[in-house]
Structure 1
Amino acid sequence: MPDSLTHESTATSAVVLATTPASRLSCADGTLLDRIGDQLATLPVRDVQVVAAGTGLGADLRGVARLARISTGAIAVVPADLVAHTEALALVLEHPSRDTAALVSHDASAAPMRPPVRIEGGRVVAAGSSFHLVPEANATFRGVLQVGEADLAGLADVAAELAELADGGRLGPVTSVEAIDLLLVGLVRSGIRVRAASIGPLHCDRVTAQASADAAIERLADVDESRVRLNTSVKADDGFFATHFVSTWSRYLIRPAARLRLTPNAVTGISIGLAVLAAVWFSAGTREAQVAGAVLLYLSFVLDCLDGQLARFTRSFSPLGAWVDAMADRLKEYVVYVGLAFGYSAALPWENGGPDGIWYLAVAAMILQVFRHSVDFAFAGANSDAGRIGAAWAKPARSLLESADGGRYGVPKQGGMLGLAHRMERESLTRWMKKIIVLPIGERMALIAITAAVFNARITFLALLVWGGVAACYTLVGRMARSMS
C-alpha cells in the first residue's frame, strides 16, 4: 500500500520501493528507508510515495502503475535499500530537463544488484535483469530511475504488463528486488528514450544485509561530494577552446561567485557588458584598442562559460535563464561585428559599403551566423518533435518475454557517413576535429579576438566567412545524414 510523505513543492515526485527486507536495515539516521527519505527532502522533490511490501512482485509493480497514471510531472523511482551519495541522486533528480533517465556506472562488472546495460550516444539502448540478457554490456544500472511526464503512460503500461508476466511466472524466478531493474528493461524495450546519467566517482549501491550496508555507508566518506559537484559543473563535452583555454581556470571562479550570491543571469549580464566594452575599444581602430578589445572579448567568453557552470553548481536552472544565455551570445557577437566594422572604417576614406566593403563583409558574416543558428535550432526542434511523435506511435521494439538480446533493441546499425562519424567519436583527435570544424562559439570568439588583435577587421570577417561557410556545409551534410538514417 502506498503511504504519502509530503515535501517541498517542486516538479518531481518520488516513488520509494520499500519492498525488500533490506529497506529496514539500520543506519545512523534510523533505517535505510529513513535515510533515503532525508536525502530526498534536500532535493527538488514535490512528494514521496512509499510503496510498502505487498503480496509479491506483481503487486509492487501494480502500485507503481497506479501512481504513474495519477501523477503529474516527472516520477523518480528509487529502491529503499539504496546507499548513495546525495549528489548521485541529484544527477538524475536535479537535471533541468526532468526527462526519463537512469543512473548508471561505466563499471561494466555486473552483479545481482547491478544489472548490465548498454549505453550508446548517451542513452540506454539495452537493459538487463536476471531474466533479460545484454550482450556487449558496457555499464551497470545503479537503481535510480526517473520517468519524464511525457513517458508516464508508457511507465504505467510497462509496469502493468510486467506485473501480469510476473504473476504468471513467465519471467523466471524474479523477486521484488528486481522491480526497478525490470521497469528499466520495459521502458527501453518499449522504445522510450532513456538518458544515461553517469555516476562518475560517486557511490550508489543496493545492499542486502547489515554488513554490506555498513560497508557501503563507510565507502561514502572516500569521495568528496563537493569536489565532484564542482567538477561536474564544468561541461565534459564542450568545445576545444572552451575546454582547454577557459574551463581549466574558470572552475576556480565558481565557488567565489556562489559565495557572492551572483546568479547565472547576473554573470550573463556582466558578460554582455564586457562584450559591449570590447566593441567600443574595437571601434577606436588603433592597434592598442584592438588588443584591448580582444582581451575584453576573451574575458566576456570566460563569463559566458561561467554562467552555465554556476547554474549547474547552484542548480539554479530556468527556461528564462537558458533563453537569456542563448540570446546574449547572439547579441554580444553582433555588437562586436559592428564595433570591428566601425574601427576599420575610422581612419580610411568611405566608399560604397565602407572602406574595402567592410560593412558588406560584416553583414555577410552576420547573415551566415543567423543561417547557421537557424539550421541548428530548427533541426533540434524537428528532432524533438519527431521523438515525441515516434514515442507515441511506436510499438514495443522488443518483447519482454525474450530473454536474450539478439539485436540492438530497435536502434539501427549506422553505416555510411553517419557510421563513420560515430567511429570518429571514439578517437580523441578526430573527436576534437569534429568539434572544431563546426566553429562553435568558443572557436568563433577566439578567431575574432586573435585576428582582430594581430591583423584587422577585414581579415576577421573573411576568416569568419570562410570557416563559417565550411562549418555550415559540414553541418548541413551531417543533418541530412542523420535525418535519412
Structure 2
Amino acid sequence: MPDSLTTRDPAATAVVLLATTPASRLSCPHGTLLDRLGGQLDTLPVGEVQVLTPGGGLGADLRGVAKIARTAVSAVALLPADLVAHTEALALLLEHPAHDTGALVSLEATPGPLRPPVRAEAGTVVAAGSSFHIVPEANATFRGLLQTARPDLGTLAEVAEELAELADGGKLGPVTPVEAVDLLLVGLVRSGVKVRAAPLGPLHADRVTGQHAADVAIERLAEVDEDRVRLDTSVKDDDGFFATFFVSTWTRYLIKPAARLKLTPNTVTGVSIGLAALAAVWFSAGTPGGRLLGAALFYLSFALDCLDGQLARYTRTFSPLGAWVDGMADRLKEYVVYAGLAFGSPDPGIWRLAVAAMILQAVRHALDHSFAGALADAAGDGVSWARPARSLRESADAAAPRGLLALARRVERLPVARWLKRMIVLPIGERTALVCVTAAGWGARTTFTALLLWGGVAATYQLLGRMARSAR
C-alpha cells in the first residue's frame, strides 16, 4: 500500500519505490537503502514519489501498483527499494525527456536470482523472464528499474491485476514478492508494449538481499566515474563502421565544449546543413580542387550530424521536432550534394544517374520504415499476428527466433560479421564516405555508379530481411 508521498513536478515521471522486501531497510552511509534512493531521486527531475510498503504478499503488491497506474497522470517508474545503483544509471530512464516505457538492462547475460534474463533486439526488450518465465537465447539481464509511459499505464494496470490473480491462485510457480517488478516487465513485453532497453554500460545497479551484499555493492559504486560514463554513452555503440572509427573518435571531445557553450542539437544540425550546402557549391565547380574541398566539407557536415545526436544524448534534450529535423536534414544534405555533383559534371547523362541514386535512396528508406509502420498499424487494428503471445501463465517464451533469423543472430555474434552487417546496408556514414572518396578521386559518374551498385545490394538485403521477419 502507498505509505508516503512527495510531490514535485507533476509533468515529470512519477516514481513508485517498492519497499516491499526487508532488504529496503538495510543500513548504508545515508541511513537505509530506501533513504539512499530517496536522496538520489531528489537530484533527478522526477514528479511525485510514492513508497509502496508490504500489504499482504505479492498479489497485494501488484494490486497496489495497478491502483497507482490507473490514477497516474504522468509516466510511472517502478523502483525496488533494495536497489543499489549509480544516480546516472537511474537517470538513463528517469531523466530521459521522452518519459517512454523502458527497462534498465545490463548486457551481462548471466542471470541470477535478482537479475532475471531478457532478450534485447535493436534497443528493445523483446522477451523478459522471471523464476517462472523462460527466455530462450537471453542476451541481457534486467536490473530492477522499469518505467511505463503514460499511454501504456492502462496496460500496466491490467497486467498487474492479472498477475495478482495468478499469484494468489498459485499459478506462477515459485515467484515471491521480490519479483514483482520482474513480472510486470514480463507482462508488458508479452502484451506487445514496446519497452526500450536502456543499457547500463559500465555503471552498476544491483539488487541486494543482505547487509554484506549491500556494503559490497555500495563500495563498487566508487569504482566508476559517472561523468565519464555519461560522456562515453553519449557516443552510440551501435553506429556504422565509418561513424565509429573515423568520426566519433574525435567528435566525442567536442561534446562538453558544445554543452558549455549552450549549443542545442538543432543548432549543430543547422551548421551541418550549411556545410553540406557549401560542399554542394564546391562540387558544382567541377574542378579537382573543388571536388576535394567539397568532399572535406561534406565529411565535416557528417561529423556535425553525429555530434548533434551525441550532444542530445549528453544533455538529454531530445525532442520529436529535433528527431524529425535531424532525419529530414540527412536527406536534404545528401540530395543537395548529389545535385552539386551533377551540376559540376560535363557528362550529358549524369543527371539520369543522379536522379536514379536519389530514387533508390527514397525506396530504401521506404523499405526501412514502412515495415515498422505496417506492424504498428496492424497491432492498432487488433490483428493477431502483429501481437506477441499474451499468456502470462506459459513459462516458455514462444517467440524464440528460428530458421534464418536464428542463424543470422548466431552469425552476428562474430565481431567481423556484425560490422559487415552494419556496412552492407549502406548507412549514412558509409554513404558519406563513398561520396567523399569517389567524388574527390574520380568524379560524379563514379560516385553515382557506386551508390547505385552498393545501394542495390543494400535494398535487396533489406527486402530479404523484411520478408524473413514477416515469415516469422
TM-score between the two structures when normalised by the length of structure 1: 0.88
* C-alpha contact (below 8 Å) 1:16/1:48 kept by paired residues: yes
Query: Counterpart of 1:349?
Result: none
Query: Counterpart of 1:411?
Result: 399
* C-alpha contact (below 8 Å) 1:20/1:53 kept by paired residues: yes
Structure 2 unaligned residues grouped into runs of 5+: none
Any idea what SS the aligned residue of 2:206 has?
strand
Query: Counterpart of 1:158?
Result: 159
Alpha-carbon distance between aligned partners in 2 of 1:373 and 1:212, rounded to the nearest angstrom: 49
Give the counterpart of 2:370 among 378, 384, 399.
378
Alpha-carbon distance between aligned partners in 1 of 2:444 and 2:420, rounded to the nearest angstrom: 26
Residue 323 of structure 1, CA deviation = 0.6
| Mapped pair 1:323 → 2:324 | yes
Residue 135 of structure 1, CA deviation = 6.2
Alpha-carbon distance between aligned partners in 2 of 1:393 and 1:149, rounded to the nearest angstrom: 25
| Mapped pair 1:366 → 2:358 | yes
* C-alpha contact (below 8 Å) 1:14/1:76 kept by paired residues: yes
* C-alpha contact (below 8 Å) 1:5/1:49 kept by paired residues: yes
Query: Counterpart of 1:478?
Result: 465
Any idea what SS the aligned residue of 1:231 has?
helix
Deviations 1:261-311 (A, max 9, x none): 111111111111111111111122211111111111111100000100110
* C-alpha contact (below 8 Å) 2:118/2:138 kept by paired residues: yes
Any idea what SS the aligned residue of 2:48 has?
strand
Alpha-carbon distance between aligned partners in 2 of 1:96 and 1:390, rounded to the nearest angstrom: 29
Any idea what SS the aligned residue of 2:147 has?
strand
* C-alpha contact (below 8 Å) 1:190/1:398 kept by paired residues: yes
Alpha-carbon distance between aligned partners in 2 of 1:137 and 1:235, rounded to the nearest angstrom: 22
Query: Counterpart of 1:431?
Result: 418
Deviations 1:414-466 (A, max 9, x none): 324x4443333222222222222221111111111111111111221222222
Residue 200 of structure 1, CA deviation = 2.0
Any idea what SS the aligned residue of 2:279 has?
helix
Deviations 1:7-41 (A, max 9, x none): 23434222111222332333343432232223233
Query: Counterpart of 2:84?
Result: 83
Identity, % of aligned pairs?
70
Please list, as runs of the form range in 1=range in 2, the aligned pairs for 1:76-475 lying within 5 A after superposition: 76-95=77-96, 98-119=99-120, 122-132=123-133, 137-171=138-172, 174-345=175-346, 355-389=347-381, 397=389, 399-402=391-394, 404-405=395-396, 409-416=397-404, 418-475=405-462
Alpha-carbon distance between aligned partners in 1 of 2:182 and 2:370, rounded to the nearest angstrom: 36
Q: How many residues align?
A: 471
* 1:276–1:102 distance in 2 versus 1, CA, 3 Å: same
* 1:397–1:209 distance in 2 versus 1, CA, 3 Å: same
Structure possessing the higher radius of gyration over alpha carbons: 1
Alpha-carbon distance between aligned partners in 1 of 2:147 and 2:274, rounded to the nearest angstrom: 39
* 1:325–1:401 distance in 2 versus 1, CA, 3 Å: closer
Alpha-carbon distance between aligned partners in 2 of 1:387 and 1:13, rounded to the nearest angstrom: 28
Q: Which amino acid aligns with 1:423?
A: R
Q: Which amino acid aligns with 1:222?
A: E
Q: Which amino acid aligns with 2:159?
A: V
Alpha-carbon distance between aligned partners in 2 of 1:105 and 1:381, rounded to the nearest angstrom: 29
Using the TM superposition, name which of 385-394 and 331-340 deviates more.
Answer: 385-394
Any idea what SS the aligned residue of 1:236 has?
coil
Structure 1 unaligned residues grouped into runs of 5+: 346-354
Query: Counterpart of 1:352?
Result: none
Alpha-carbon distance between aligned partners in 1 of 2:18 and 2:384, rounded to the nearest angstrom: 28
Residue 6 of structure 1, CA deviation = 1.4
* C-alpha contact (below 8 Å) 1:108/1:140 kept by paired residues: yes
Q: Which amino acid aligns with 1:282?
A: F
Residue 190 of structure 1, CA deviation = 4.4
Query: Counterpart of 1:19?
Result: 20
* C-alpha contact (below 8 Å) 2:438/2:447 kept by paired residues: yes
Alpha-carbon distance between aligned partners in 1 of 2:211 and 2:418, rounded to the nearest angstrom: 46
Residue 202 of structure 1, CA deviation = 1.1
Query: Counterpart of 1:348?
Result: none
* 1:167–1:434 distance in 2 versus 1, CA, 3 Å: closer
Alpha-carbon distance between aligned partners in 2 of 1:123 and 1:367, rounded to the nearest angstrom: 31
Deviations 1:59-88 (A, max 9, x none): 211110111122244321101121101121
* C-alpha contact (below 8 Å) 1:9/1:46 kept by paired residues: yes
* C-alpha contact (below 8 Å) 2:378/2:386 kept by paired residues: no
Alpha-carbon distance between aligned partners in 2 of 1:233 and 1:13, rounded to the nearest angstrom: 25
Alpha-carbon distance between aligned partners in 2 of 1:135 and 1:332, rounded to the nearest angstrom: 43
* C-alpha contact (below 8 Å) 2:120/2:127 kept by paired residues: yes
Any idea what SS the aligned residue of 1:290 has?
helix
Alpha-carbon distance between aligned partners in 1 of 2:423 and 2:388, rounded to the nearest angstrom: 38
Any idea what SS the aligned residue of 1:143 has?
strand
* C-alpha contact (below 8 Å) 1:191/1:410 kept by paired residues: no
* 1:373–1:168 distance in 2 versus 1, CA, 3 Å: closer
* 1:465–1:20 distance in 2 versus 1, CA, 3 Å: same
Q: Which amino acid aligns with 2:431?
A: R
Deviations 1:200-251 (A, max 9, x none): 2111112233443232222111011111111111111111111111112211
* 1:331–1:90 distance in 2 versus 1, CA, 3 Å: same
Alpha-carbon distance between aligned partners in 2 of 1:463 and 1:120, rounded to the nearest angstrom: 31
Query: Counterpart of 1:46?
Result: 47
* C-alpha contact (below 8 Å) 1:277/1:293 kept by paired residues: yes
Using the TM superposition, name which of 327-336 and 384-393 deviates more.
Answer: 384-393
Alpha-carbon distance between aligned partners in 2 of 1:425 and 1:224, rounded to the nearest angstrom: 31
Residue 191 of structure 1, CA deviation = 4.8
* C-alpha contact (below 8 Å) 2:342/2:444 kept by paired residues: yes
Alpha-carbon distance between aligned partners in 2 of 1:338 and 1:207, rounded to the nearest angstrom: 60
Alpha-carbon distance between aligned partners in 2 of 1:80 and 1:294, rounded to the nearest angstrom: 54
TM-score between the two structures when normalised by the length of structure 2: 0.91
* 1:423–1:139 distance in 2 versus 1, CA, 3 Å: closer
